Chain A
Amino acid sequence: MTDTPAPRHIPDRLDEPLSSAIFSWEALLVVIAIAIFIVNSFASPYFLDPWSLSDLTFNFTEKGLIALAMALLIISGEIDLSVAAIVALASTMMGMAVQVGAGTPVLVAIGIAVGLGCGAFNGLLVTRLGLPSIVVTIGTMSLFRGIAFIILGDQAYKGYPESFAFFGQGYVWWVFSFELALFLVAAVIYWFVLHRTSFGRRVFAIGNNPVACQFSGVRVDRIKFILFCLTGLMSGIASVLITSRLGSTRPSIAQGYELEAITMVVLGGVSILGGAGSILGVVLAAFIMGLVTFGLGLLNVPGIVMSIFIGLLLIIVIALPIVWRRLREGRFA
């Protein structure tokens, strides 16, 4: 969407010299995260309590899980705006299953299967019919959440079994919640897949030049289809977590999560044009967004005002390196 397509580099080199690691995007994010952490701990005496810090993680784990898969999708040059709607639909289906007496394992299976199914539907529309993903997923976003609204209307599903509450409310060890553990495990898996496997290299390659990939024997459509399925799958998992945490389902559940997940991905240094990015950046961005929201929450700043900070953070973090480079080159404006 820029006027002159800038020459693309593949930044994900296997042997990075130390200097470039210090001035990398991830380093910038770490500095920002530490700064916010210090400001928060001065601003509120409650911040440095281990349980507070543990509560903090609930702010981003669900969206972060979606953001991991979304990062791969955006690196490959596609996007999925329907993730929050998938969460709503999966949650609605789990709620329906509860009404006929399904147990916890069945509920989890349903949540994940619905997510996977919705992702596959998006993937089929994009790869089989060759449609632009941004429009397709705006459509399926209305469709998926619309189905949730048709089923639920202004009602809510409740009565989830006790054992189901573990996923969103349980703790693995001391202050480490199941959600956080799952997020960290998923982050490691996604890091490995993206940065240490040939599949990951293909994802970068597709984002940089899909046509060349096609001619090099990469099954572009199949990889994109898998990425859409993964994004749906992660949305299904996020749906299990959020439904378990809230203990009820409304059709408006997870409203606006798609934009927050995309903000995490972009803040994490993934190029919205595709072809560049790292999982470490996305994980750091997830922590930063959690820190900002939680720190401001301790100071009684309303959620809507926090969103200003998130929005400003997004634009400033993207703009700063550009302004900095231009100033150094002395050709600003």
Chain B
Amino acid sequence: MKSFLKYRELWLLAGIVVLIGLISTRFPGFADPANLRQVFNDTSILMILALGQMVVILTRSIDLSMASNLCFTGMVVAMLNAAHPAIPIPVLIVIALLIGLVLGAINGLLVWRLNIPSIVVTLGTLTIYRGATFVVSGGAWVNADQMSPDFINFQRAALLGLPVLSWIAIIVISLFFLVMTRTQIGRSIYAIGVNPTASVYAGIDVGRTKFIVFCISGMIGGLAGYLWISRYVIASVEVANGYELNIIAACVIGGISIAGGIGSVGGAVLGALFLGIISNALPVINISPFWQMAISGSAIILAVVLNARGERRQGRIILRKAEAA
């Protein structure tokens, strides 16, 4: 199965290379290392979010509240910064992680303790968290001139040729790679997705593991909240509205099966990059950005069709259908 997964990611990578090649024929500067670094940086937040969503989807759950979590945490962090500019940025990041963790833990507890389907829980918290953003902010925006220069410039500082934002993405990707491939919890997450019943017999606490994945996706949402606000330098209730579906789209394009158990860190990263390249390329090759939505929609459908073929080859679909029944 592993070699097959690798094959699928190589396949996606080849697709991305072809895509970059096609764009280069219209706009030769696109394949420049400097430009590709820019694309990577622009996509960093989506990559981080896709990884957080990935661990949830792997356990056959879904987190629709990530974008609202991002919005809420970003707002709180921005207001903190506006009120107390002296708080150092690393402390703010820790605060963002903690707020995200609490929001994720609420989702996780409801899924774990009450056994409510995650799609219902996070559909509820999706609206609650965004509404809470309005309550804490009173509907006001936090603008660039209210944020401290450190708050805005931290992620833009260059470090060994890359902005800090890119480094944060690289660190998060590496951490996820280590956790998913080299730790017990990583293997448990896969096991639950492949066969929850067998996982119980194998001594895995399914409920607790689901709680943990929601905590992870919550922390990621919180981290992305700070990064998003300091990148686009505006905090409002509308931030990242509807973005939860982009995150899921990145996962789906990256070959992560919505039925759980199949997917990898590399896939999530490449899926996000694919969407990032499209959104970066459209303006430079003179296609109206209004095309972006339809193009990513088509890419999702295509990706699902191709993924489903791959899964069917393993004879898993039938098993899962019988199980769900």
Chain A interfacial positions (CB closer than 8 Å to B):
1-5, 77, 81, 125, 129-132, 134-136, 138-147, 149-150, 152-154, 208-212, 251, 255-256, 259, 262-263, 266, 272-273, 302, 304-308, 310-312, 314-315, 318-319, 322-323, 333
Q: When the two chains form their complex, are residues A138 and B300 in contact, meaning their CB atoms are under 8 A apart?
A: yes
Q: Determine if B123 and A1 form an interchain contact, defined as CB atoms under 8 angstroms apart.
A: no
Contacts of A211 in B (CB 8 A): 321-322, 325
**Known pairs A1-B117, A131-B308 / 16 extra A-B pairs, C-beta < 8 Å:** A1-B60, A2-B115, A3-B192, A3-B210, A5-B324, A129-B305, A132-B258, A132-B308, A139-B300, A142-B296, A146-B291, A208-B325, A259-B127, A263-B124, A308-B128, A322-B116
Contacts of A266 in B (CB 8 A): 120, 123
Interface check B152, CB cutoff 8 A? no
The one of B120, B128, B293, B325 in contact with A312, judged by C-beta atoms closer than 8 angstroms, is: B128
The stretch from B33-41, B81-89, B93-101, B130-138 touching chain A is B130-138
Instruction: List 5 A–B pairs whose Cβ atoms lie within 8 Å, in order of A's numbering.
Output: A136-B304, A139-B304, A145-B293, A256-B242, A302-B134
A-B pairs with beta carbons under 8 A, tally: 174
CB distance from B18 to the nearest CB of A (A): 20
The reply to whether A4 and B196 contact each other, CB–CB distance below 8 Å, is yes
Closest Cβ of chain B to A4, distance in Å, is 7
Q: Are A314 and B120 in contact (CB under 8 A)?
A: yes
Chain B min CB distance to A151 (Å):
9
Q: Are A125 and B139 in contact (CB under 8 A)?
A: no
Task: Given A136-B301, A143-B297, A146-B294, check contact A305 B116 (CB 8 Å).
Answer: no
Chain B residues near A323 (CB-CB < 8 A): 114
Expressed in whole angstroms, the minimum distance between the Cβ of A297 and any Cβ of chain B is 15
Interchain CA distance A131-B290 in the complex, whole Å: 27
Indicate whether B25 reaches chain A with its CB closer than 8 angstroms: no
- B contacts, CB < 8 Å to A: 60-62, 64, 110, 113-121, 123-128, 130-132, 134-135, 139, 192, 196-197, 200, 206-207, 210, 237, 242, 245, 248-249, 252, 258-259, 288, 290-301, 304-305, 308, 312, 317, 321-325
Question: Which listed residue (A77, A132, A149) contacts B290, Cβ 8 A?
Answer: A149
Closest to B112 in A: A3
Q: Give every chain A residue within 8 A of B127 (Cβ-Cβ).
A: 259, 263, 307-308, 310-311
Q: How far is the CB of A318 from chain B (nearest CB, A)?
A: 5
A139 to B290, CA, bound (A): 16
List chain B residues, Cβ under 8 A from A147: 294
> Among B116, B117, B130, B317, which residue has its beta carbon within 8 angstroms of that of A304?
B130
Q: Is the CB of B242 within 8 A of A150?
A: no
Q: Which residue of A lies closest to B206 (CB)?
A: A3
Cβ distance B174 to chain A, nearest Cβ, rounded Å: 28
Enumerate chain B residues within 8 angstroms of A125, measured Cβ to Cβ.
301, 305
Smallest Cβ-Cβ distance to B260: which chain A residue: A1
Q: How far is the CA of A138 from the CA of B242 in the complex (A)?
A: 12
CB closest chain-A residue, reference B318: A211
- Min CB distance, A243 to chain B, in Å? 20
Give chain A residues whose Cβ lies under 8 Å from the Cβ of B299.
139
Cβ contact within 8 Å between B298 and A143: yes
Docked CA distance A262–B321 (Å): 23
Measured CB to CB, the nearest residue on chain A to B61 is: A1
Least CB distance, B212 to chain A, in whole angstroms: 13
Minimum Cβ distance to chain B for residue A92 (Å): 12
Taking the closest CB of chain A, its distance from the CB of B190, in whole angstroms, is: 15
Given contacts A146-B291, A211-B325, A314-B124, contact A308 B135 (CB under 8 A): yes
- Asked if A146 and B292 sit within 8 Å, CB to CB, the answer is yes
| A315-B298 in contact given A131-B308, A308-B131 (Cβ < 8 Å) | no
Tell which of A144, A146, A211 has the most Cβ of chain B within 10 Å.
Answer: A146
Whether B119 lies near A131 (C-beta < 8 A) is no
Q: Is the CB–CB distance between A302 and B139 below 8 Å?
A: yes
A210 to chain B, nearest CB (A): 6
Q: How far is the CA of A131 from the CA of B124 in the complex (A)?
A: 26
Q: Given A1-B62, A144-B297, A314-B123, are A135 and B252 also a contact pair (CB < 8 Å)? A: yes
